A and B are shown apart, each in its own frame.
Chain A
Amino acid sequence: MSLKDSINGKMKAGCIAEAEIPPEDAEALFDITYSVTVGGRVYDSFDDPNYAELPEQEYEFYVPAMTPVQADLEKDIRDIQISTAEEFSFEAEDVFVDDGISGSIKQRIFAGFSQNPFDTTSNTNLELFFEVDGPEEAFINGARIYQYMSFVKSGDDEADIKTVACITKIGNPFDAKVMTFEGSNSMDDDSAQVVDRTWDSVNSEDTAKADESFTLFQGIEDYTSWESWDIDGNLIMPCRAVFDFGEQIDSDNEVYGTYDVTIGARFYEDEESTEFLSLPQQTTQVVFEAPNTDLEGVYEVTGDAAADDVSDDRVYLKKSKKFFLEDVFTGEDSATFTGKGWLKLEGGNKLYKSGQNKFFYRFSVELPATVFDSMDEWTYYFWAKYTAVDPAL
């Protein structure tokens, strides 16, 4: 919130409050006329008990209907194998020179391919995971974080450079955007296609065709900031961009190989800002490796190593909860489902000489056989929530 020029030589102060409204709640909150009372008080300082009261205003405020378009749920079961992980560190003082923000900032990028090797109709995706890990004060609600990666195959001087920009709005995961550029324009901070432009018009000249562009991933968690696991007091702003190859690609596809990449991130104060603060650009080489389609070989101890290992399940958590179906299935289904059922949870370890140990939770539900016949295609959502008990208590 800062004073801005208004008309007749006056200044104005604004304050924006935002509420996240999941699409499923829209019906209850929209297409309604609200009675709104607006007031304001002006204080000399935060600890001043005196204030000047601004006259209250009352309005009728109609919020029009919203018809959110929800994409079909992506039910693809996918395996992601990260083949590239890069991290760069900076001092916050060097980036936020005039803002008094100190501490460490890290930019990370992970890249990998996702697919389901058991389902040949499942397309291969290239997924880019961006992260800026910075002091909490650097993440101001409403600001944009513009993370990007430019890449071109090493040694291919003829090819256009592809750039993927993944842009999040702090405090509003529903307003993230992924932009793809292909061309020769520079994405450097001092490039004519970057300077004096708002974030959404950067290098618009090189905007890639839709079928060659990365898109958002379905799920707001990839665009919501969360506490850093690495640096105390920091937040991480992630951003995930996905490219769908439209098919399951072979391991000899030309996309695999070594790339020269340039990575950067910029902070825009708001939607209108044409100025930005920037993390220093980094260049490096990365390898996009074809994913291993033998998932058992990736995640389990197999082959000769398994023969020499001990992989018997060591179950040490074993709980069972009996229930009556009449208590679970109500309404029109109560007559169909009768009898007893059991919810079970096992947990334990698979221990190996090699130390490649696994821990597992195994849920199960046991019901009369005929009941399962009546639940074809239904979804079973098992959950377990665990909280460590402080031994000192």
Chain B
Amino acid sequence: MSSDSDDVADKRWYRQNSNTVMSYPEFYAPFWNDAAFALVDSERTTGTYKKQFCELQLDIEDLEDLSFTMETGLRIYKTDDAKEFFTTPEAKFNYFQEEQVYTKDLEVVPTYAPEKQKAEPKEKKVFAVDIQTITDAFGTDAINQWETDYAQALLDAETNENTNRSWRQSVPDPEVSITVSYGYTKYEELTESDWMYWYIAVEMPTSFATDGEILYTYVTIDAGTETEDIITASCQTAFGSSDYAIAIFNQGDDLDALSSTNADYVVGKTIDTQADDYEEEEADHDWIAGLDYNGELAPESTDAEGLYTNYACYFVKEEPKLGRDDTLFDREVDIIIGARIYADSSATDFTDLAESSDTLFIDEIGNYSAAGAAGLFVSTMATVMFLFTFAF
């Protein structure tokens, strides 16, 4: 059916694949339903758009659990006699057709009640940034400041502890690490989606961060299949802020689109204009920034001197239970992790914290486990009872 097929190219739309047209197709068009073929105003807020629908339906008795590879496209003809056409890019992807029957569970209104959620942390990868990159990124002034802060911290400690330990300890190099972590937040009801939660955290000396500057982190995910595009999820937050924003990029097979060295899409661009060709609008993806549905906070820095902060950015991806394609889980994917710091949203220059590549095992998501959730619930109740006792 592709536009470059001999059965399509240079043929009128109604002559395409004429030898394989089904005489008695199972699908039918519900043309008593005007909405199924309507041209309507789009709800998209980034411009004035309209949406043309076209719907088919099929009577079903039983649906089997089946995985499909699907290709789709749109051709536009100026007239019925036209053999030439315009075609959109064609998409190829997998999807899972799930056996479904009516159950009362389908009528449950989702509430996402906290006491019926269960967080399951999964894999975490930590990447250390080398000292040369740190020096190049933050400059010698920042390094000097770090050394001063560290020495002062030791003196403060000596004063507090009435000891003398600075003679025993040289000033270590400052360290910067980038952590990517994911897990699942699960909910009990069939109508409640599960969520794949993520954070990307940069742990570095607090002195390297200036309030108001923007920490821009990203993870590029390459599943390595011909039916999945490479995706990048970027998350940004200002130092000193607990607001988070994300951008999702569907970059086909362009692996390095969001790389700090990419001259086409990143170098010389503001955050909002990076890889614009690939960026998905909010209405077109299932990712959300922030801590809603997020089951795990990045750990706070634990250095003895208190000079480090772990700056994290949080986001989640919705994973509906209905029609979930299990082949997208229980497998290893390639990832690229990176972080940049921008002075503000209009800046085109940035501090690059380097990029690292690795693999990440995307575990099977499984079903909500009542036992796990009950444990969480009991734990919550125990905490409440403890405070209650103290109050008296």
Q: Which residues of A line the B interface, CB within 8 A?
A: 22, 24, 73, 75, 77, 79, 118, 129, 219-222, 224, 226, 238, 240, 295-296, 299-300, 309-310, 312, 314-324, 327-330, 333, 339-343, 345, 347-353, 355-370, 372, 375, 377-389, 391
Instruction: Enumerate chain B residues within 8 angstroms of A340, measured Cβ to Cβ.
Output: 47
A385 with B70: CB separation less than 8 A: yes
Interface presence of B68 (CB below 8 A): yes
Instruction: Enumerate chain B residues within 8 angstroms of A345, measured Cβ to Cβ.
Output: 70, 72, 91
Instruction: Enumerate chain B residues within 8 angstroms of A328, measured Cβ to Cβ.
Output: 76, 86-89
Main secondary structure of the interface of B (DSSP, over half): mixed
Q: Which residues of B line the A interface, CB within 8 A?
A: 1, 10-15, 18-19, 21-24, 27-33, 36, 39, 41-42, 44, 47-61, 63, 66-80, 83, 85-89, 91, 93-98, 100-102, 106-107, 250, 277, 280, 284-286, 320, 322-324
Instruction: Enumerate chain A residues within 8 angstroms of B91, measured Cβ to Cβ.
Output: 319, 321, 343, 345
Residue of B nearest to A337 (CB): B86
Residue of B nearest to A329 (CB): B86
**Shortest distance in angstroms between B347's beta carbon and chain A's nearest beta carbon?**
25
Instruction: Enumerate chain A residues within 8 angstroms of B39, measured Cβ to Cβ.
Output: 372
Instruction: Enumerate chain B residues within 8 angstroms of A320, measured Cβ to Cβ.
Output: 280, 284-285
Which of B21, B52, B59, B83 lies in contact with A221, CB distance below 8 A?
B21
Which of B69, B78, B83, B86 lies in contact with A24, CB distance below 8 A?
B83
Residue of B nearest to A347 (CB): B95
Instruction: Enumerate chain A residues within 8 angstroms of B42, measured Cβ to Cβ.
Output: 366
**Residues A382 and B54 in contact in the complex (CB < 8 Å), given A355-B61, A389-B94:** yes
A386 with B76: CB separation less than 8 A: no
Which of A24, A75, A221 lies in contact with B12, CB distance below 8 A?
A24
Which of B13, B24, B69, B97 lies in contact with A381, CB distance below 8 A?
B13
Instruction: Enumerate chain B residues within 8 angstroms of A381, measured Cβ to Cβ.
Output: 13, 74-77, 85
**Residues A365 and B41 in contact in the complex (CB < 8 Å), given A221-B23, A222-B23:** no
Query: Given known contacts A360-B58, A379-B76, A391-B67, what 11 new A-B pairs fall within 8 Å (CB)?
Result: A24-B15, A323-B89, A328-B86, A348-B323, A351-B101, A356-B59, A365-B74, A370-B48, A378-B78, A379-B77, A388-B68
**Shortest distance in angstroms between B344's beta carbon and chain A's nearest beta carbon?**
27
Which of B13, B56, B277, B284 lies in contact with A324, CB distance below 8 A?
B277
Which of B56, B76, B78, B320 lies in contact with A361, CB distance below 8 A?
B56
A-B contact pairs, 24 of them (CB 8 A): A24-B15, A309-B102, A310-B106, A312-B106, A314-B106, A316-B96, A316-B98, A319-B93, A320-B284, A322-B280, A343-B88, A347-B95, A349-B60, A350-B57, A351-B101, A362-B36, A379-B78, A381-B75, A384-B70, A384-B71, A386-B71, A386-B95, A389-B66, A389-B68
B15 with A22: CB separation less than 8 A: yes
Which of B29, B69, B88 lies in contact with A389, CB distance below 8 A?
B69
Residue of B nearest to A372 (CB): B50
Please measure, in the bound complex, the distance between the C-alpha atom of A129 and the C-alpha atom of B55, giving whole angstroms: 26
Which of A221, A312, A330, A385 lies in contact with B18, CB distance below 8 A?
A221
Instruction: Enumerate chain B residues within 8 angstroms of A387, measured Cβ to Cβ.
Output: 68-70
**Shortest distance in angstroms between A325's beta carbon and chain B's nearest beta carbon?**
9
Instruction: Enumerate chain B residues within 8 angstroms of A329, measured Cβ to Cβ.
Output: 86
Instruction: Enumerate chain B residues within 8 angstroms of A77, measured Cβ to Cβ.
Output: 29, 31
Please measure, in the bound complex, the distance between the C-alpha atom of A351 and the C-alpha atom of B190, giving whole angstroms: 14
**Shortest distance in angstroms between B56's beta carbon and chain A's nearest beta carbon?**
5
Residue of B nearest to A318 (CB): B286
Which of A339, A358, A378 lies in contact with B57, CB distance below 8 A?
A358
B322 with A363: CB separation less than 8 A: no
Which of B30, B71, B79, B100 lies in contact with A351, CB distance below 8 A?
B100
Residue of A nearest to B286 (CB): A318
A323 with B102: CB separation less than 8 A: no
B323 with A316: CB separation less than 8 A: yes
Please measure, in the bound complex, the distance between the C-alpha atom of A366 and the C-alpha atom of B48, giving whole angstroms: 10
Please measure, in the bound complex, the distance between the C-alpha atom of A290 and the C-alpha atom of B95, giving whole angstroms: 41
Instruction: Enumerate chain A residues within 8 angstroms of B36, measured Cβ to Cβ.
Output: 362
A383 with B15: CB separation less than 8 A: no
Please measure, in the bound complex, the distance between the C-alpha atom of A340 and the C-alpha atom of B49, giving whole angstroms: 10
